Amino acid sequence: MKTRPVPLLAILLLSGCTTAGVYESMRQSRLNACRQLPDAQQQHCLETVSGDYEEYRRQREEAAGKP
């Protein structure tokens, strides 16, 4: 079964989840999708999945030029 991120995101947002919760849910969805791939592709896919929300938030703020 393929996960559809847009409906999942809409459900999470409507249910009042925090930004961190939404980020983690989407990250888990990507990890699960990677695990469904053949071994040859799985490692590369897993390497593209970002770290935790705090790491993502710091990188986003640095890119936006915030101190």
H/E element, 59: helix 53-64
The pTM assigned to this predicted structure is 0.61
- pLDDT-derived band at 24, boundaries 50, 70, 90: confident
Q: Hey, where are the domains in the chain?
A: 5-64
Nearest Cα neighbor of 46 from 63, 58, 28 is: 28
Q: What is the pLDDT of residues 42-66, one digit of tens each?
A: 999 999 887 888 888 888 889 988 6
